[in-house]
Amino acid sequence: MTFLDPNCCNVSDGEEIKPPTIIAGQDKTLTAQLINIMNGVRTLFDLTSATEIEAIFLNADGSFLEKKLSLSQITVTNAPSGIFQINLLAADTALLALTNLTPPIVYPSIEVHVTIGGKLTIINMMNCINIVQRLFPSAP
């Protein structure tokens, strides 16, 4: 499975595209589309029957930030096409692990859990977001 998004992890079929930047401390909504790729054939990951979607991010202190559909922190915007949004508050992004800019550059990843019909599917979206510090953290 892959994660396609004009605002987030644009990686597909080995094509590498620079991930979107989130500035720590800003509100951000990430729009995602899940696509299943098997034997080179791409099919949409239908979320129509999803009872839970959870996105997990790593915080700088080693803890995790979890966003859930059941808590209205994730919104399915086009279920048959596998499209959903993850709503991140400024307080959330302020705590996220930053991109390691020392070569080799390592971008943070997102783990997504989708539950459909009692079956859990885990999607690892590796190196898909760029999280950087504010230039002037003490500015208003």
One-letter amino acid of 99: T
50-58 and 110-116: which strand pairing?
Answer: antiparallel
Look at residue 7 and tell me if it is in a domain: yes
Look at residue 125 and tell me if it is in a domain: yes
The CATH number linked to 93 is 2.60.40
Q: Rounded to an integer, what distance in angstroms lies between the CA atom of residue 61 and that of residue 68?
A: 21
3-class SS of residue 92: helix
3-class SS of residue 56: strand
Look at residue 58 and tell me if it is in a domain: yes
The pTM of this model reads: 0.84
Look at residue 54 and tell me if it is in a domain: yes
Look at residue 13 and tell me if it is in a domain: yes
Number of domains making up the chain: 1
**Domain extent at residue 115:** 2-132
Look at residue 138 and tell me if it is in a domain: no
Size of the chain in residues: 140
Q: Rounded to an integer, what distance in angstroms lies between the CA atom of residue 66 and that of residue 92?
A: 10
pLDDT (tens, 9 = 90+) of the chain, 140 residues, equals 344 444 444 444 444 557 888 999 999 999 888 888 788 888 899 999 999 999 999 999 999 999 999 999 999 999 999 999 999 999 999 999 999 988 888 889 899 999 999 999 998 888 888 999 998 887 77
